[in-house]
Structure 1
């Protein structure tokens, strides 16, 4: 059993991740800044620890990661128009998580990003979307440049529809929608898939079962 630190442990994908981790035999450790979320998250099987992604430094992240073997970065600045939070959460939160993992001696790191963030942005891109894409892009680049055993998952447009268990996963998968529940299910599988280390994959809804999709992605099909 691995203890899996989930940064942004009360986020929309993270809340769907705890139960699949428990079902796979792992102990999720939900890192949140609001004590009021404790009861809900413990009800999902997570251990809850306090961490303010924006206000605390990498050393505090390392302390919060104590006893964990895996870090999942699932935090996000939210859908509102706060450009600053795209930097302080999506980028700086990731950078502090990477450094915190290094300080804590944790090698395995899974990052939930977004599809297409390496592509050039049109000149008329809105300021908020530009800030979001640039934050995700730079966070992914920093993780790839680290010496951690990383996997980057880049979902398409997220929906709240029920899980389908059917996806497309791979380096060159085109844009599309994917349910948050399916994203969580894939992340839970990545924790146990050593062959996913060093890979950056897009994820959208499809017609392939999760296990087969992961096997195909590992083979490069």
Structure 2
């Protein structure tokens, strides 16, 4: 499989690249900062400089043409202000989805966030509200597209603890517990392989079900629904 990752230097993206590369897949990681290229190469991916806050859809489409799937893993990060939540968490997600349609890459997995279906608490502040709003609008844009076989994955509170290999993965709502970034990456790999699981919004936290079994259950549900 040839996978393009937008936001390729992120913590989940690097873990995802390692897993895909280790099994022989080709990974192209779009990165804003060329100084991150060595980190991306060390993860087994090919760095592709591309500033998603400045590029247009045609430029991004050229870079991802030939991919079998796109993963949107970009984010403005916890130290950014409200303005970059708009330009990265929403606008860049829309841009990459536009590019995927142009390039004819239908499988598209977008990493989103818990809490987008409710109004953020006032005491969380302006930046948090902007983040939730951006993620919600990016989801709404993706869910309206007929040209992509999309998946939206909302992880719980992310940790850098070692992966457990077991999760809770289901349609909203599953709670707000933590999940390791290792396990998020493993779930993404399994979802990319499960081509029958598409056009779903899924939430992910730590749990007791092995990753492969959790994704297989979703695939069975999808088959039962079609039948």
Instruction: Give the TM-score taking structure 1 as reference length.
Output: 0.95
Instruction: Answer yes or no: is the 8 Å Cα contact 1:72–1:109 preserved in 2.
Output: yes
**Corresponding residue number in structure 1 for 2:102:** 103
**Corresponding residue number in structure 1 for 2:225:** none
Structure 1 unaligned residues grouped into runs of 5+: none
Name segments (4+ residues, structure 1) moved above 4 Å.
none
Instruction: Answer yes or no: is the 8 Å Cα contact 1:50–1:64 preserved in 2.
Output: no
Distance 1:31 1:81, change over 3 A: closer
**Corresponding residue number in structure 1 for 2:186:** 185
3-state DSSP class of the match of 1:191?
helix
1:65 is aligned to 2:40: no
The Cα of 1:124 is off from its aligned counterpart by 4.0
CA distance in 2, matches of 1:77, 1:121: 18
Instruction: Answer yes or no: is the 8 Å Cα contact 1:112–1:152 preserved in 2.
Output: yes
More moved, 174-183 vs 19-28: 19-28
Distance 1:105 1:81, change over 3 A: closer
The Cα of 1:41 is off from its aligned counterpart by 1.3
Q: Deviation per CA, 1:117-160, whole angstroms, max 9, x where unpaired?
A: 11233344410110000111110111111120001110001111
The Cα of 1:66 is off from its aligned counterpart by 2.0
CA distance in 2, matches of 1:152, 1:79: 21
Instruction: Answer yes or no: is the 8 Å Cα contact 2:156–2:205 preserved in 1.
Output: yes
CA-atom RMSD in angstroms: 1.5
CA distance in 1, matches of 2:126, 2:137: 16
The Cα of 1:81 is off from its aligned counterpart by 4.3
The Cα of 1:196 is off from its aligned counterpart by 1.4
Instruction: Answer yes or no: is the 8 Å Cα contact 1:163–1:179 preserved in 2.
Output: yes
Aligned length: 220
CA distance in 2, matches of 1:16, 1:156: 17
CA distance in 1, matches of 2:143, 2:136: 11
Structure 2 unaligned residues grouped into runs of 5+: 223-227
**Aligned counterparts, 1:24-173, within 5 A:** 24-147=23-146, 148-171=148-171, 172-173=173-174
Instruction: Give the TM-score taking structure 2 as reference length.
Output: 0.92
